[in-house]
Chains A and B, each alone.
Chain A
């Protein structure tokens, strides 16, 4: 039987303005969790805030038996998370969701993250290593670049204000890359407008694409139908699927981007 887990905080420290790295200890979990999966975390000591908050796995530290989550302080829930200290514990459900479909035969993949959406891609970058070109897009301040570079030799950064790397959108870099390099699959996570552009670029260049979506959640396990996103069925009709259970990773071509 599954059960809520009580995880110990090993470390919880800021890595950029308003962005934290949270390391949680759990040996079994560390072996079990897949890239793209998330945890549903109780973010309050007492009853409130009421609902759990979904945060993705960023990467595992197998030697330590730890999972690392990277989160941006957004409101009450993540504010609470940022106040946790080493030795404190957290009530966690998971790992939840389907995760990325990892095909180890792929010779070349592109991994594209925008903002905090870079976080859920780090473990995946580790799986593909030097077969992955990693594209990280930031507004201004960069983060997680070292962790990505430790996993792949080909990490390319873009900042919208031009302060580091390419000045502009990360999707420009992806487009350029796909034109020059045969690629088996693109994996993407980030704000919806960015994902929509990634999906369009992949479609136009006939490359498969998997995107990790976000939606407001209640249960996180598939029971409430509260986290639905619109997908196109084969027969052309529109259906709602659960981001928490059927996703959060979807094939880009099934997502209904105009909803």
Chain B
């Protein structure tokens, strides 16, 4: 089994394998770190951070839907300073490769966070552009190519860490957004974030989520995610990190064949805490069976 090279190069960082965790589904690694060594993962992408602590949305925040789930956590997090002081050292002690995921209400907030993270041990910074931009009247950054370009370019100027731009699927043309991220200097793109959705309880005649709307994730979104990864990988020269509904190695291999150089596991953690490590092993077995000598050879290898 050791005959295949599982490592991948993303945004200038060498990951020991192509499997990372999806932001917001893995906390700061503490809980799932009780199930396996975090250094077995390609990378740990931590819960979305904001400049200041955020309380998050009122409950209920989750519900199951056919082959998926909705969440409206609302970016509850202790803030970037707390992360740097308390959570990051613990993760680094465990030998994890850490990617910080950040959300800002303005370009300046993204830059401030990047400056702080630049001086830390994180391997890269992922920009979550799905949250509303206060200055632009509440329009999410990730929905307009010129805003994506602008925030990516500015963040790149503010620090030295590689920048991964996370794309929202709630757009008409995801390729246009991915191109803007690449043009702005993004070192990689990751997709997809959750699809804006809702559920209704007909007996109480109320939305199920306290926040009315939430994000759909899990197997239900996989075909959409695969299509988007395939489109984006065909259009940009920077690496693509694929996610959306990956439950097992088979799903992960699909994303890599579609053009993703790495994959992230989100909702699957809730179903099976060992999912990421089982996926790593499964990809390795697949490579051996198919006669690939490295994961990178399999990237985009659709025939």
Contact = CB atoms under 8 A, between A and B. Distances in A.
The main secondary structure of chain A at its interface with chain B is loop
B271 A226 contact: no
Interface in B237-276: 247, 267, 269-274
B56 A228 contact: yes
Interface in A168-224: 215-224
Nearest to B36: A1
A75 to B, nearest CB: 9
Looking at chain B's contact residues, the main secondary structure is: loop
B76 A230 contact: no
A259 B59 contact: yes
Contacts, number: 104
A139 to B, nearest CB: 17
A51 to B, nearest CB: 5
Contacts of B218: 50
Give the most central of B26, B55, B68: most A CB within 10 Å: B55
B63 interface: yes
Contacts of A227: 59, 61-62
Instruction: Please indicate which of the listed interface residues A50, A219, A221 has the most CB atoms of chain B within 10 Å of its own CB.
Output: A50
Contacts of A228: 56, 59, 61, 73, 76
Interface in A1-30: 1-4
Interface stretch (A41-49, A108-116, A156-164): A41-49
B57 to A, nearest CB: 8
Contacts of A52: 270-271
B63 A216 contact: yes
Most buried by B among A4, A215, A224, A227: A224
A80 interface: no
A222 B31 CA distance: 6
Interface in B66-95: 66-69, 71, 73, 76
Interface stretch (A31-39, A58-66, A140-148, A238-246): A238-246
Contact of B219 (A47, A215, A238): A47
B7 interface: no
Contact of B73 (A1, A48, A221, A226): A226
A217 B271 contact: no
B35 A47 contact: no
Contact of A1 (B34, B69, B76): B34
B24 interface: yes
A245 B31 contact: yes
Nearest to B218: A50
B32 A218 contact: no
A42 B271 contact: yes
B219 A217 contact: no
Contacts of A215: 59-60
Nearest to A49: B64
A257 to B, nearest CB: 13
B219 A50 contact: yes
A93 interface: yes
Interface in B23-56: 24-27, 30-32, 34-36, 47, 55-56
Nearest to B35: A2
A4 B273 contact: yes
A227 B31 CA distance: 15
A239 to B, nearest CB: 7
B270 A224 contact: yes
A67 to B, nearest CB: 20
B26 A223 contact: yes
B12 interface: no
A81 interface: no
Contacts of B30: 222
Given A50-B69, A225-B56, A230-B58, A219 B34 contact: no
Contacts of B66: 48
A214 B11 CA distance: 43
Contact of B270 (A1, A47, A218): A218
Contacts of B59: 215-216, 227-230, 240, 259
Nearest to B68: A50
A224 B58 contact: no
A221 B32 contact: yes
A159 B254 CA distance: 56
A245 B28 CA distance: 14
25 contacts: A3-B35, A4-B272, A50-B67, A50-B69, A50-B219, A51-B271, A215-B60, A216-B60, A216-B62, A218-B69, A218-B267, A220-B270, A223-B25, A223-B26, A223-B269, A223-B270, A224-B62, A226-B61, A228-B56, A228-B73, A228-B76, A239-B55, A240-B55, A240-B56, A240-B76
Question: Which 10 A-B residue pairs are closest in the complex by CB-CB distance?
Answer: A226-B62, A223-B27, A219-B270, A223-B31, A218-B270, A221-B31, A222-B31, A218-B62, A2-B34, A216-B60
Given A52-B271, A221-B32, 10 more contacts: A47-B271, A51-B64, A222-B31, A223-B31, A223-B269, A225-B47, A227-B59, A227-B62, A228-B61, A240-B76
